[in-house]
A and B are shown apart, each in its own frame.
Chain A
Amino acid sequence: MASQALELVQYRSLIRNLVAKDLKVRYKNSALGFLWSLLNPLLMMVVFTFVFTQLLNQHIAAFPVFVLTALLPWNWTATAVTAGTASLVDNAPLINKVYFPRILLPMSVVLSTMVNYVLALPALFLMMAIFGRPFTPWIVEIPLIVLIQAIFVTAVVLILAPLNVYFRDTTVLVEVGLLAWFFMTPIFYPVEAVVPHLAAWMYRLNPMAAIVEDYRVILYNGAVPDPLFTGRTGATALVLLAIGWLVFTRLSRNLGENL
């Protein structure tokens, strides 16, 4: 394990280059380039504002901000899980020809989608200002929540990526799974809308629900999240990461034979 960690340090330029490659390829051939990271949430906001303030009758103040605080991190998770699951299979020719720590492939997907998420945050801040949401010092806790989410998403991807090598249907199941997961995460509805005795279970079984709630407390409510609550989520993410690491190391030993 220590030698594996040391190897990752040795290959740190590969992590950086893989992330840079992902970002470059994503924005290649588009006139606005990385500005899309900012524009995309702003355009979504326009849609939400129209739909939820003009078409639908609902009672949550600054609803577009309410949704976006949860939807942007959700999008990060969803794209990372989709691309991360495919990351080993997509790079089969490389895996069969060159040795390098394979774990870098799913990890770089999580990192490049994270960069994308962070680039979108200024758009969210702009919307907060427009809708008059409070900016509180608790905003400094955002990097911590981002870190917890990154650890959690990495854990999920480390389990799914090698699984996809052995069962190619994983990609399809992940698609369906993400849809169910999306509705079971309080993104378009407040957690208060959940049947009370199930809300606690939602947090326990779905770390994304807890992560989204932390973002919302800080950015939408302008309050401080319960440190115990955040701590529990962080601990869960770390335990899952350890499990993901073990699963990945175990399943990826004979990748070359199965790709």
Chain B
Amino acid sequence: MRAGHRRDRMPQPGHPQDDAAVEFRGVSRRFRLHHETRTSFQDWFIALVRPRGKAEEFWALRDVSFVVRRGEALGIVGRNGAGKSTLLKLVSRVLEPTSGDVLIHGRTHAMLELGAGFHPELSGRDNVYLNGSIYGFSRRQMGERFDRIVQFAELERFIDTPVKHYSSGMFMRLGFAIAVHMDPEILVVDEVLAVGDAAFQRKGYEALMDLRARGTTVLFVSHSVEQIREFCDRAILLQEGRIVDSGPAAEVVDHYLRTMQEQAGEIAILRVRAIDRSGLPLDAVASGADLGLEVLLRVPPGGSTGDLALGLDLHDRAGTHLFGSTAQLPADLPAFDDLDPGTRRVRSVVRGLPLAGGTLTIAATLQRGALGTTEPLDRQETQVDVVGRWTGRERGILRLDHDWEWETEADPSATGPHLEHR
């Protein structure tokens, strides 16, 4: 059978899964690794004179078969280089399979990179139409969606500005807004939820939930396994191009985390979250209250945390760096979990959080040696809502503990009202 894509809406004869939206049948994809790529005639002529033997082959996917039913959300997990991206590119037809068949039943939209195809010199408006047509949408179809897209991207004021003047956040927001308004039957999502500020990320996630609720089939890749656990019905685990597990998302994610843990030598952040005094997870914290932060680390057997530095950084929704602190970890953090001796816990408390309100992004960064001098080993983020009680007389992003005090005229040392900090 010839390898290739088929995009028929008719059920395959002799095939029981009529409700399949995406089907892989024994799909393999090979890449040729040219160690010196012959992209010039000079190299080509040299190669004629001095043959270097066959190019090394690399199989990104081997004999992969699976079915995604209509309306289902499939998560794809696996380490870097396991074949996740290749798989998504096959679904979105950017790549063709080397052997096997990829069957797609329905209009597919791939969010592999937001804003791919934007032209910097054109306005946001022109780019919306241009981008739409790249995905096969007519001017009229885009016109119907235009207002909703602009509103979703929160770019009403800037839509006629050339996108070269956009911030990267604005650029991504527009790309994301276009993608979720294309009413795809099959949506391919690759790591695009880390767009913009925390508020927009939540909005984006909700938009995806919306699409899913309306019956869109979703193929989802994310570094956040928690998102996959939450968003997907089923998941597949890829290892070196093969499917090693498939089933309910939660089980496959657990399996994936276990295999990650077994791969010794790598220290990583398992989770970062906000907690209250008793150690329970928090979604929201009151302004002025204590905020606990908990970081779980995975340390391979026999591993030491002695040379590690853990940084915690707080950003507000506009991306302002509010505060950061780094701790040099002691070598022998006690194990946190009896079942898994490799898990360590680090806690930090911010006393009397002096923030006015809004979404707070907490980033934990793990590094060897001093922070900022080497590539981080791992980094994870979480969000917490700070709930402020506004009196109507206060402004700003901080909420400082303050008092007003007046002196009467009888006191000669007073020059007027002043703030007294406690």
> Which residues of A are interface residues toward B (Cβ below 8 A)?
10-11, 13-14, 16-18, 20-21, 24-25, 28-29, 93-100, 166-169, 173, 253-254, 256-257
Q: Is the interface of B mostly helix, strand, loop or mixed?
A: loop
Q: Tell whether A98 pairs with B117 under 8 Å between CB atoms, given A16-B133, A24-B126, A169-B41.
A: yes
CB distance from A30 to the nearest CB of B (A): 12
Contact of B113 with A by CB under 8 A:
yes
Q: Tell whether A94 pairs with B134 under 8 Å between CB atoms, given A24-B121, A254-B96.
A: yes
Of residues 324 through 362 on chain B, the ones whose CB sits less than 8 Å from some CB of chain A are: none
Complex alpha-carbon distance, A253 and B92, angstroms: 14
Number of A-B contacts (CB under 8 A): 83
Are A95's CB and B94's CB within 8 A? yes
Which residues on A sit within 8 Å (CB–CB) of B138? Answer: 13
Contact of B137 with A by CB under 8 A:
yes
Complex alpha-carbon distance, A195 and B200, angstroms: 72
Contact of B166 with A by CB under 8 A:
no
Complex alpha-carbon distance, A184 and B233, angstroms: 66
Are B39's CB and A97's CB within 8 A? no
Are A97's CB and B136's CB within 8 A? no
Contact of B40 with A by CB under 8 A:
yes
Cross-chain pairs A/B with CB under 8 angstroms, 24 sampled? A11-B136, A13-B133, A13-B139, A14-B134, A17-B129, A17-B130, A18-B130, A18-B133, A20-B126, A21-B130, A24-B122, A25-B122, A28-B121, A94-B117, A96-B94, A97-B94, A97-B112, A98-B92, A98-B117, A98-B135, A100-B135, A167-B44, A256-B95, A257-B32
Complex alpha-carbon distance, A14 and B136, angstroms: 7
Q: Which residue of A lies closest to B108 (CB)?
A: A99
Q: Specify which of B32, B39, B94 is in contact with A99 (CB 8 Å cutoff).
A: B94
Which residues on A sit within 8 Å (CB–CB) of B113? Answer: 93, 97
Which residues on A sit within 8 Å (CB–CB) of B110? Answer: 97-99
Complex alpha-carbon distance, A88 and B136, angstroms: 19
CB distance from A87 to the nearest CB of B (A): 14
Which residues on B sit within 8 Å (CB–CB) of A20? Answer: 126
Chain B 101-117: CB-based contact to A (< 8 A → 1; otherwise 0): 00000001010110011
CB distance from B410 to the nearest CB of A (A): 69
Q: Tell whether A25 pairs with B119 under 8 Å between CB atoms, given A168-B40, A257-B31.
A: yes
Q: Which residue of A lies closest to B30 (CB)?
A: A257
Are B121's CB and A25's CB within 8 A? yes
Q: Which residue of B lies closest to A89 (CB)?
A: B39
Complex alpha-carbon distance, A21 and B129, angstroms: 10
Complex alpha-carbon distance, A249 and B217, angstroms: 30
CB distance from B116 to the nearest CB of A (A): 4
Q: Which residue of A lies closest to B89 (CB)?
A: A256
CB distance from A76 to the nearest CB of B (A): 23
CB distance from B5 to the nearest CB of A (A): 9
Given A17-B139, A100-B134, A257-B95, 4 new contacts (CB under 8 A):
A14-B136, A29-B121, A168-B39, A254-B96
> Which residues of B are interface residues toward A (Cβ below 8 A)?
31-32, 39-42, 44, 89, 92-96, 108, 110, 112-113, 116-117, 119, 121-122, 126, 129-130, 132-139
Q: Specify which of B129, B136, B139 is in contact with A10 (CB 8 Å cutoff).
A: B136
Which residues on B sit within 8 Å (CB–CB) of A98? Answer: 92, 94, 110, 112, 116-117, 134-135
Q: Is the interface of A mostly helix, strand, loop or mixed?
A: helix
Complex alpha-carbon distance, A16 and B130, angstroms: 9
Q: Tell whether A97 pairs with B116 under 8 Å between CB atoms, given A13-B138, A167-B39, A257-B31.
A: yes
Are A169's CB and B136's CB within 8 A? no
Complex alpha-carbon distance, A166 and B37, angstroms: 9
Which residues on B sit within 8 Å (CB–CB) of A29? Answer: 121
Complex alpha-carbon distance, A47 and B31, angstroms: 54
CB distance from B295 to the nearest CB of A (A): 34
Complex alpha-carbon distance, A29 and B93, angstroms: 37
Complex alpha-carbon distance, A256 and B112, angstroms: 13
Which residues on B sit within 8 Å (CB–CB) of A13? Answer: 132-133, 136-139
Closest 4 CB pairs of A and B: A99-B93, A97-B116, A14-B133, A13-B133
Q: Specify which of A21, A166, A173 is in contact with B119 (CB 8 Å cutoff).
A: A21
Complex alpha-carbon distance, A10 and B7, angstroms: 15
Are B39's CB and A93's CB within 8 A? no
Q: Which residue of B lies closest to A14 (CB)?
A: B133
CB distance from B363 to the nearest CB of A (A): 27
Complex alpha-carbon distance, A251 and B422, angstroms: 74
Q: Which residue of A lies closest to B34 (CB)?
A: A258
Complex alpha-carbon distance, A10 and B137, angstroms: 9
CB distance from A19 to the nearest CB of B (A): 11
Which residues on A sit within 8 Å (CB–CB) of B119? Answer: 21, 25
Q: Which residue of A lies closest to B141 (CB)?
A: A13
Q: Tell whether A17 pairs with B42 under 8 Å between CB atoms, given A98-B92, A99-B93.
A: no
Q: Which residue of A lies closest to B42 (CB)?
A: A169
Are B93's CB and A166's CB within 8 A? no
Complex alpha-carbon distance, A95 and B135, angstroms: 12
Q: Tell whether A100 pairs with B121 under 8 Å between CB atoms, given A21-B130, A93-B116, A169-B41.
A: no
Which residues on A sit within 8 Å (CB–CB) of B39? Answer: 166-168
Which residues on A sit within 8 Å (CB–CB) of B130? Answer: 17-18, 21
Complex alpha-carbon distance, A14 and B93, angstroms: 18
Complex alpha-carbon distance, A20 and B89, angstroms: 29
CB distance from A252 to the nearest CB of B (A): 11
